[in-house]
Amino acid sequence: KWIIIRMCSPLRNIAPFILFIFFVLTSGCATDADPEIETSDTVEATVSLSVNDFISPDGTRASTPGNSDEMRILNALVFQFDANTGELLKNSDELLQPEDADGANNFKVGFINDKESIIAIIANIHDVEWIYENYSQRQIKEEFKRYDTFLEVSLPTERVGYLQSTGIHTTGIPMFGVSKKITITNKAFVMVPMERLFARVDVTVDFNAVSAVGNKFNITNLVYRNIPGYCRLKSLAESDDKQGSYPEGIDWKTYDAEGAKSFSLFMPGNLQGKVSGMTSKQNADTDQIPEHALAIDLTVQYEKDGSTKTHTYSVYPGLDEINDFNVKRNRIYDVNIKLTKLPE
């Protein structure tokens, strides 16, 4: 667009004025085009992630000595939400790694300055593209833009299922954590307690009493049945009495540890609530058991009356042995199966 300047003064007075305009325009263009200039609204803070021991079903801490892999954080996605409006202020557009490999789990992160914030962390997912509608344009999905809908987010399908204890040193266990409200300032230190999104289910089988009588007793299969193929950041159940609100059509997986006498598996929580009126899970009729309750199916083979026979026992972990079918995240469930006699 052309600009016409009407001259009302001698030519010699215009030259300085033209030079001044030229200086202002070129200065402004240089500032706008420089991608390296950081706005004063962004400051660097340290985020420190703390991971405690697993919890026993009774709510007490379950010590896991020497198993640092269960606390390992390999990478993290960081989200800054406005503590008052719930609006997403900033998020990491790449996976962040801890500063050191000493297990301290500290990260340097850029945040919007002088905002009362909630800092949320998703760790050990190994994927950043799932938070975007269009990764190349960094177009973030709608559900990530507000804190309340963010909590409803489920993990990417390929990161949901089961993890063997022998593999978590390379994958880590998916985790989630939220800070207290904090006003972000330069060089702030933000503590975020992390919670594993998976439970650990340990199974031990003792069949010494029955194998000692020479009946060729052995384990053929140790199967974990009804492992949910779905894991949400926020708990799926409002209370222990109610079943979790799992979406229809999700995959309920199984894992066969084959002939193992002891095994540990990490898996998403399976919340199937309590069954009113039930007095013993092991003595209950099959039709009383929730359809998707986690089951440990132990199949054994033995000789009796001159023939080879098989039998399958089913055990249902939970918060008690009476009527609770809740396997909660970040907890250890010890399933001890002791066989004292042959099946009838």
**Range scoring the smallest mean pLDDT among 35-44, 160-169, 231-240, 329-338:** 35-44
Two tokens, residue 153: 């987010």
Q: Tokens 């999104």 belong to which residue?
A: 197
Q: Is residue 19 over pLDDT 90?
A: no
DSSP 8-class letter at 259: T
Q: Beta partners for 337?
A: 205
Predicted confidence band of residue 2 (pLDDT cuts 50, 70, 90): very low
82-96, 111-125, 153-167, 248-262: the lowest-pLDDT one: 153-167
Residue 68 pLDDT: 85
pLDDT at 101: 65
Is pLDDT at 100 greater than 80 in this prediction? Answer: no
pTM equals 0.84
Q: What percent of the chain has pLDDT over 70?
A: 84
* Predicted pLDDT of residue 130: 94
305: number of CA atoms within 13 Å, CB side? 5
CB burial of 13-28 (b: ≥16 within 10 Å; e: otherwise) equals eeeeeeeeeeeeeeee
CA pair distance 16, 22, nearest whole angstrom: 10
CB count in 10 Å sphere of residue 76: 25
Q: Residue 308: enclosing H or E segment and its boundaries?
A: strand 307-315
What is the sign of the dihedral through the CA atoms of 197, 330, 82 and 152? positive
Question: Average pLDDT of 5-32?
Answer: 40
Q: 3 pLDDT exceeds 60?
A: no
Give the SS3 label for residue 117.
strand
pLDDT at 140: 95
Of the listed ranges 20-24, 84-88, 105-109, 202-206, the least confidently predicted one is: 20-24
Query: Residue 190 above 60 pLDDT?
Result: yes
Are 314 and 295 spatial neighbours (Cβ–Cβ below 8 Å)?
yes
Q: What is the mean pLDDT of residues 183-196?
A: 95
**Confidence class for position 306, pLDDT limits 50, 70, 90:** confident
Residues 96-110, mean pLDDT to the nearest whole number = 85
b/e map 136-173, b = 16+ CB within 10 Å: eeeebeeebebbeebeebbbeeebbbbbeeeebeebbb
Rounded Cα distance between 296 and 220, Å, is 13
